[in-house]
Amino acid sequence: MVLGALSASRAAIDLIEREIEIVREQARFPQDSLQWKNITWKKVDDYKRLIDRFCYWNSEHAIDFTAATFCRKRYKHDMFNEGDGEVAYQKWLCNVYLGSGLTTW
């Protein structure tokens, strides 16, 4: 599992929203949503454009990104998470947030 956190100013968010809308308007299928869980070869160029923009924003510090990976199968939920994987997810999310240096949620 990969959990990520983003930090951005309000001005950067407004700019990013506009740029994402432009990418979507120029997409091969502009009416379709771009869902990361269902990337198709027909839309791969659209995703690449978004990834390129994301890398640019990150390099310019318009956004700051951090991520952490977790192997869900290695955790003993019954011992440490009240037997609940959702509790573990919330703990991991807090760890990503706290380790990111972000000051607002």
What was the pLDDT predicted at 90?
A: 78
What domain range includes position 12?
2-100
Determine contact, residues 78/71, Cβ cutoff 8 Å: no
What was the pLDDT predicted at 11?
A: 85
Q: Tell me, yes or no, whether 15 lies in a domain.
A: yes
Q: Tell me, yes or no, whether 105 lies in a domain.
A: no
Report the predicted TM-score, pTM, of the whole model to 2 decimal places: 0.59
The length of the chain in residues reads 105
Q: Tell me, yes or no, whether 38 lies in a domain.
A: yes
Q: Tell me, yes or no, whether 74 lies in a domain.
A: yes
- Which structure tokens are listed for 51? 């990834």
Per-residue pLDDT in tens (0 to 9) along the chain, 105 residues: 777 777 888 888 898 899 888 888 888 887 777 777 777 888 888 889 989 998 999 898 888 887 777 776 776 766 667 777 777 777 777 776 666 554 444
Task: Quote the number of domains for the chain.
Answer: 1
Q: 49 in the Ramachandran plot: left (φ > 0), alpha (ψ -120 to 50) or beta? A: alpha
What was the pLDDT predicted at 52?
A: 93
